[in-house]
Every structure is written in structure tokens, then in C-alpha cells.
Structure 1
Amino acid sequence: MCEVNVNTENLKSVIADLESLTNHLKAMLQEPPESKTAQKKNPDSKKTKAEKKNCSLEEVRAILAEKSRAGLTAKVKELIAKYGADKLSDVDPKYYADLTKEAGELANG
């Protein structure tokens, strides 16, 4: 009989990411038409919002993985904890841009 070795923590992380994506898509579908109209009337507010929320979970994960491979795993974990989470998928998406910026500033030393 062939057994498959499954890392349950990775599966839990994938499930959490999928749930987060599902919730985000549902929220997008439920966005009232008035808010879309308001964004068209005030393009500056749209730009500001887009600048703050321009990072996806996958983009943040890629940046943090790169830092971790560079020997900064402990600092990456500290950074995630700073945003009140034990793992990246638990970080509130509104902090992704800030998290990415701070990750870019990480260095050995």
C-alpha cells in the first residue's frame, strides 16, 4: 500500500488562504454600486486606496520567502508577529503593503 506523507500545517495554511480569498471575493461581489460611483467621482481616493492595498498574499509570501532564504528567518517571524499573527496567512491584508515595505528593509546584522 502506498502512503502519502502530508504536512498538515501546510494544508491548514492553504485552506486558510483559500478561505481568505473566498471572503475577499464575496466582499467584492457585495460592494454596493454607490461606492464604485464615489470612486469614479473622486479618483484621488481610489489612487490612495490602491497604493495602500496593492500587495497580494502571494506577493508578500514571495518577498518573505526570499528574505528567509537569505538567512533572515528569525527576523521574518518577528515581523509577522509584529502584525499580531503566528503565520503570514493570519496577517490582516490591510497590513500587506506595510509588511512588504518593512521586509524590504530587513538586513543581516
Structure 2
Amino acid sequence: MLKNVMVDAENLASSIGVLLTALESDEEVPKKEEKVNQNEKTYEIEDVRKILADKSRLGHTAKIRELLEKYGAKKLSEIEPSNYKDLIADVEKL
């Protein structure tokens, strides 16, 4: 527990340092939304393939095929990488 408090204190000190540096240099302080986007998960085709294979083994093969068609493809390699995140979101709903 003490270690968690120390880590939180270090993070707080770091955040304060960033804010002070930004204020001193008249830079715009990054908004929380921008930080969230930087930490957003990105998927590679191997990640997506594994997730689809796991769902397929659970009996969702037909639904996965329907989702691939929803994104204009008959197989994963035909899907644009920019759509991987949305595809994974749909697959996780199965």
C-alpha cells in the first residue's frame, strides 16, 4: 500500500511539473481527452486474428463471417486496418 502511495505521489509531482512547465512557456496544457486518445489501444492484424480465432472456437464462426461482411470483406486480410478497432468492438459483443 505504501508503494502505491509513493507511485501516486510521483505521478502527481510529474503532472504538476508538466503543468508548471507549460504555464512558464505559455504552451497550451493538454486536455484530458487528448491523453486518452494517445493511450488508445491499436490493433495489428495478428491481434485481430487471434481474437477472431478465440471467438470462433467458442462457436461464433457464422457471426464472425457476418461481421467480416459488414466491413466489406470475406476474410480478415481484406479489412482496412483502420477498421480493426470497430471490428473488435463488435466481436466482443458476441
- Counterpart position of 1:100: 88
How many residue pairs get matched? 64
- Counterpart position of 1:86: 74
Query: Is 1:63 aligned to 2:46, yes or no?
Result: no
TM-score with structure 1 setting the length = 0.51
Letter in 2 for 1:70: L
Deviating above 4 A after TM superposition, structure 1's stretches of 4 or more consecutive aligned residues are none
- 1:1-109 to structure 2, matched below 5 A, reads 44=34, 48=37, 51=40, 54-106=42-94
Larger radius of gyration between Structure 1 and Structure 2? 2
Percent identical pairs in the alignment equals 48
> What's the RMSD between the two structures over aligned residues?
2.1
Letter in 2 for 1:69: R
TM-score with structure 2 setting the length = 0.59
- Structure 1, unpaired ranges of 5+: 1-41
